[in-house]
Amino acid sequence: MRERCIADECLSTTGFSYTLSLINGKYKMTILYTLMEFGVVRFNEIKNISAEFPIRHSAPL
């Protein structure tokens, strides 16, 4: 069986790539880990789960 290689994939068209483009900053991995572990959660739930990481709102565009 052939192993899948990331070089063979077009990551720019994946949902994961789109999600990474929406989440900026140094807490990206914290947010992604929380979503992976707990599924769909609200922003306030993410703040409560990762209370040791101060997540600030970014300025509106």
pLDDT of res. 54: 58
For 35-61, what is each residue's pLDDT tens digit?
888 888 888 887 787 776 555 555 554
Best CA proximity match to 11, nearest among 22, 3, 19: 19
Chain-wide mean pLDDT for the chain? Answer: 71
- Give the whole-angstrom CA distance, residue 57 versus residue 61: 12
- CA angle centred on 33, ends 17 and 57, rounded to 5°: 80
| Residue 24 per-residue DSSP state | -
pLDDT of res. 49: 75
Report CA-CA distances (Å) from 12 to 7, 9, 26, 36: 12, 9, 21, 20
- Mean pLDDT in residue range 15-34: 75
